[in-house]
Copies of this chain bind each other. A is one copy, B any other.
Amino acid sequence: MKRIAFIGLGNMGGPMAANLAKGGFEVVGFDLSQAAMTALEQAGGKSASSAHAATEGAEVVISMLPASQHVESLYLGEEGLFAQLSAGTLVLDSSTIAAETARHVADAATAKGILFMDTPVSGGVGAAKAGTLTFICGGSEAAFAQAKLVLEPMAKNIFHAGDSGSGQIAKICNNMLLAVLMAGTTEALALGVKNGLDPATLSEIIKQSSGSNWTLNVYNPWPGVMEGVPASNEYKGGFQVDLMAKDLGIAMDTAISSRASVPMGSLARNLFALHAQKGNGGLDFSSLQKLFAD
């Protein structure tokens, strides 16, 4: 049985670590919140007094942290984990961060003989709990072969996007496109309703036509059209506008540094920023519908 250190037991990391424990791994977690660690213990894992303590004896380290600086701080420098981990340890960072940072951390890992992959996820808290996340991995073939075995209890899909950083690039391409789908769908539904159509009928027609997309299929943004989605629960739960705005910020940075033109994604970012500025940052991102509704 493999021993896994899991750093970052928040809304996403907590259920992910729990699923690993249920999947038969020996999981030792660390988080700044004692409540998060207690929850892991109840799910069959153990907790440690520090990130360093959690990784003692671990063959695999997984991290799920808020942003680039947390990842750099965890792994790099004299106090970082890379200074202590054995060569051959597999390190998987599932945080959504800049590809540039992921590549930089991967280089530092390689210098120590550590196998590092960026393994950001798609799917949100619901999929984290259900063990049906999509993992998008960047790194070597060898690392990917090992990573798959570890990620399985948490995953529905595990993709190998390419070299280091590729997981992050694919993730933000996906999320930028998701933002475009959501923005486009909300304004199209509003246009139809303004012109006399029923939102459920219109949704059904488009779903079965060429405008079909993930948001209409499983995440309809119009209140009352689909059961069990945030739109039918006052836009609570789901994927917050502020988190979408964070991912779009990373996407824009990537576009700027690679001199790419992404007019649709940029416009979507600005619409979500406008929506957040009006006090909706804590709502699910499908609440963009409110921007276009009368």
Contacts of A264 in B (CB 8 A): 180, 183-184, 187, 264, 267-268, 271
- Identify the stretch in A44-52, A106-114, A141-149, A211-219 within 8 Å (CB) of chain B at 4 or more residues: A211-219
Chain B residue nearest to A183 (CB atoms) is: B264
Shortest CB-to-CB span from A194 to chain B, Å, is 5
Nearest chain B CB to A144's CB is how many angstroms away?
12
Q: Which B residues lie within 8 Å of A266 (CB)? A: 263, 266-267, 269-270
Cβ–Cβ contact A174 & B261, under 8 A = no
Contact at A273–B259, with CB atoms within 8 Å?
yes
Bound form: Cα–Cα A255–B273 in Å = 10
Query: Are A210 and B122 in contact, CB atoms less than 8 angstroms apart?
Result: yes
Query: Is A243 part of the binding interface, using a Cβ–Cβ cutoff of 8 Å?
Result: no
- The answer to whether B213 touches A181, judged by C-beta atoms less than 8 angstroms apart, is yes
Chain A residues 195-227 with CB under 8 Å of chain B are 195-198, 201-202, 204-206, 208-214, 217, 219
Cβ distance A71 to chain B, nearest Cβ, rounded Å: 18
Q: Is the interface of A mostly helix, strand, loop or mixed?
A: helix
A269 to B, closest residue via Cβ: B266
A159-B205, A267-B266 in contact; A188/B173 too (CB < 8 A)? yes
Q: Which residue of B lies closest to A167 (CB)?
A: B205
Q: Which of A17-25, A29-37, A89-97, A246-254 contacts B (4 or more CB under 8 A)?
A: A246-254
Evaluate contact between B211 and A178: CB separation under 8 angstroms.
Answer: yes
Does chain B have a CB within 8 A of A154? no
**Given A211-B174, A261-B292: A256 and B255 interface contact (C-beta under 8 Å):** no
In the complex, the count of this chain's copies comes to 4
- Give, as a whole number of angstroms, the nearest-CB distance from A270 to chain B: 4
Q: A162 to B204, alpha carbons, bound, how many Å?
A: 13
Number of A interface residues in the complex (CB < 8 A): 81
Complex Cα–Cα for A28 and B292 (A): 46
Question: How far is it, in angstroms, between the C-alpha of A140 and the C-alpha of B187 when the chains are bound?
Answer: 27
Known: A204-B159, A211-B214. A260 touches B194 (CB 8 A): yes
Q: Does any Cβ of B come within 8 Å of A74's Cβ? A: no
Asked if A231 is an interface residue, CB under 8 A from chain B, the answer is: no
Interface residues of A in 136-185 (CB under 8 A from B): 136, 157, 159-163, 165-166, 169-170, 173-178, 180-181, 183-185
Cβ–Cβ < 8 Å partners of A212 in chain B: 213-214, 217
In the assembled complex, which residues on chain B have CB atoms less than 8 Å from the CB atom of A169?
191-192, 195-197
Pair B166/A197 contact, Cβ less than 8 Å: yes
**Which chain B residues border A202 with CB–CB below 8 Å?**
161, 170, 173
Q: Interface on A for B, CB 8 Å cutoff?
A: 99, 122-123, 134, 136, 157, 159-163, 165-166, 169-170, 173-178, 180-181, 183-185, 187-192, 194-198, 201-202, 204-206, 208-214, 217, 219, 245, 249, 251-271, 273-274, 276-277, 291-292, 294
